Every structure is written in C-alpha cells, then in structure tokens.
Amino acid sequence: MKKNKKLLIRGIPVLVVLVVALFFLLEETVVSGGKNYVVKNGSLDAVIESVGEVKGEKATEINIPMEMRDRDLRIWQVKIVDMVEEGKIVKKGDYIAQLDQTEISNRMRDRMQEKEKRDADLKNARIDSTVRLTQLREGITNSKLDLEYNKIDLEQSKYESEAYQRKTQMAYQKAEIQVEKKRRDYLLEQNRLKMQVQRHEKRLDWLNDLIDRYQKAIAATRVTTPEDGIVMFGTNWSGRKYSKDDEISTYRPLLATLPDMSTVISETYVKEIDISKISKGDSVNITIDALPNKSYTGEVVYIASIGEDHQGFDMKVFKVIVRFNESDDELKPGMTCSNHIVFEHYNDRPIIPLEAVYTDSLQRIVFLKHGGKITKQPVELGAENKGMTVVLEGLQEGDRILMHPPEDML
C-alpha cells in the first residue's frame, strides 16, 4: 500500500509536466487553419493583376489603302471579303486581304452616267453659244448699217430746215447708242456663255479625275504586305479582331500590323479604381498562358491619361503598356499574358492572414491573445496579396492572434 502511494506521489509531477506540455503545444499552433497564428515579419508585394496581349513595341501598319480613303469617293466602310490566317509569315508583296469592290463600282457607275449627261450638256452649251453669238453679231452688223443710213441722212440734212437737221442728228445719235449697246450685249453674253461652257468642262474634268480615282481604288482592294513579317489583324470598335465579312471603317483604317518582336510589350487595361496606384517604372512579373513553365519581368512604360469603355469591363479602364526586359523566340504576337504589376513592396513587416482580420465600429481589428487574455486589437493594414496582408501598425513579430475569435466577442 505504501509502495503504491509512493508511486502515485512520484507520478504527479510527471502528469503535471505532461498537462503543461500539452497546453503549450496547443498554444503554439501557428498554421493558418488552426486556432492561433503567430505573427512573423516578412516581405510582401502589392500587386495589381491584369490580362494583356503580347505585341511588338514597334510594328509596320497595314491600313486601308489611301486610294480608298479619298473623301471624294464617299466610301465610309468597306467589307473584308477574304483574308489570310492571323499569324501567317509573309514576304514583301504577299497577299493578305481582299476588300469588297461593290460600293466603289456602284459609285463609279453613277459617276460615269453623270459624265455622259455632262458630255451632252457641254455639246449643247457649245452649240447654243455659237448660235447665240452669231445672232448677236448679226444684230451688231444691222445696227452698224442703220448708223450708216442715219449718217447719210445727217449729211444731206444741211440742205433742209433746222428742225429736220435736228431730227436727223438725234436719229444718228440714237443709232450710235444702239451700236454701242449691241457691242456691250455681245461681250456680256459672250462672257456668260463662256463661263457656262467652262463650268461644264470643269465638271467633266472633275468627273474624269474622280472616275480615274475610283478605278485606282478598285485596284487597291487587293491588299498586300509592305515588308516581311508575321500578320496580326487589327481590332474593331469593340476590341474584337477583324475576321472575314467584317466591316472596317475608313476613319479607323488599321487592317493589320507586322510586329517587330525584337522588343516586346504587353498591352493591357487597368480599372479606374486601380489606375492611381500604379506609376511608370513599376516592375511587372509576366506569365504567358501558352508558356506555363516560363515567366518574364518588365516595367510599366505608358499609362493612358484618359479612360475608355472596353469590352469585358463594367467600368472605365485605362490602357497600360508594359515593356518586357527580355525577349526570346518563343514569344509570339497575340499571346495572352498575365501582368502582375508591383506598385508597392514591403520588407521586414508583420504579415498576417486576411481571414484573421475583422471589422468593428468601422475599424479593422484582430483578436490578440496574450497569456490567457484575449483583447480586440485595432490594426492599420497595408497591401494584400494571395490571402495575406501587411500590418503597418498594431502588431509586431511574435504576437499571437486568433484565427476564429470567441463567439461572445463577436
């Protein structure tokens, strides 16, 4: 009996040690899925993620030919009736697209019909001018004869009475005035008819020139490449790439590009709520969907100053250009990429899980455990990334916080 009692007494300290060890073991749970989390200092990047498209920083543009963008032709949109596949490697002069000729041909036919009418009008105007001026010249000739008759009467009137002399003198003066009037009328009518003929001739010259431009525009509907490269087609107003049977506007004439991939960029769009966070020179980590085992670095080189509506977004977005720091042969134009724009970097700062942060009276708090006591601790947070956040004020390394606070403190 005494022996068993001694064993029991000796076993009590061991039991106490085991209980204490178990208690501390539970207290030291630090995994994010457990009850407690021990705050540790670390590094965290504040990142904005956006999807972009790989492009060459420099590219040769292939626009709707200038012959078709002539405003006198009144061609505002043209249909793409055929095109090569995007990404095709082409040589200088190779065919890439055929644009519809129908509207151009119809307009040219209308102008040709107008030209025929103008030709007839010009011939009629010239005939009318000849007839009218002939009549006026005959009138001048008759007036001159009348003047000569009156001159003879005036010369013979010296043998008559003074009243008769006065009468013949007035008749002669009237005949002189009539001759001058006929001459003036002739000159005025000659100028008028000349201008009328010139208007017809000018309109005909314009029509002939316009028909010639229509013919050149029809010839230009077959689009070829100005140099070697990889064909990347342009986009319409909604941001969708052109395809066969699409309409392309002469006010937005970019049909395709031949990108120079020696310097690579990513063209992306950032929401207006995030655009103020980033600046030129911010570093960017870039991953390519088609190259899952590779990553690239770059930096922001351009931020648009004006927002725009863009397909796939429910708010205004700003165009952002990211330049790759390196390039290789695996990067192809048109590849989809993810841009992780680092707008702020924290070093040696307390890092905690976002799920351990709560809101109380419009302030962010955590439940701090010190010893056996649990208190609400206000915290000021910085950037977030992948479920973690930086603590700017309120915690320090080694503090213990609860992942799930007691129900009576919520």
Q: What is the pLDDT of residues 229-253, one digit of tens each?
A: 899 999 888 778 899 999 999 999 9
Nearest-angstrom CA–CA distance, 54 and 298: 12
Query: By C-alpha distance, which of 225, 278, 285 is closest to 256?
Result: 225
Residue 377, phi then psi, degrees to nearest 5: -115, 110
- Please enumerate in sequence order all residues whose Cβ is within 8 A of that of 321, keeping only pairs 6 or more positions apart, or say none: 265, 266, 267, 268, 300, 301, 302, 303
Question: pTM surpassing 0.75?
Answer: no
Three-state secondary-structure class, residue 32? coil
Q: Which of 253, 257, 242, 221 is nearest to 77 (CA)?
A: 253
Residue-level pLDDT at 15: 52
For the chain, the domains span: 104-211
Summarised one tens digit per residue, pLDDT across range 334-368 is: 899 999 999 888 888 899 998 889 988 788 888 99
User: Residue 223: pLDDT above 90?
Assistant: yes
Arithmetic mean of pLDDT over the chain = 87
Residue 193, SS3?
Answer: helix
At residue 359, the pLDDT reads 87
Separation CA 295–CA 285 (nearest Å): 7
pLDDT score at 410: 61
Q: Is the pLDDT of residue 330 over 60?
A: yes
- Name the least confident of 132-141, 178-187, 230-239, 280-289: 230-239
Give the pLDDT band of residue 385 (cuts 50, 70, 90): confident
- CB atoms under 10 Å from CB of 388, counted, come to 15
Six-digit token pair at 211? 């028909």
Taking residues 295-314, report their average pLDDT.
Answer: 90
Per-residue model confidence as pLDDT tens digits over 284-293: 999 999 998 8
Where do runs of H (alpha helix) occur along 157-245?
Answer: 162-219
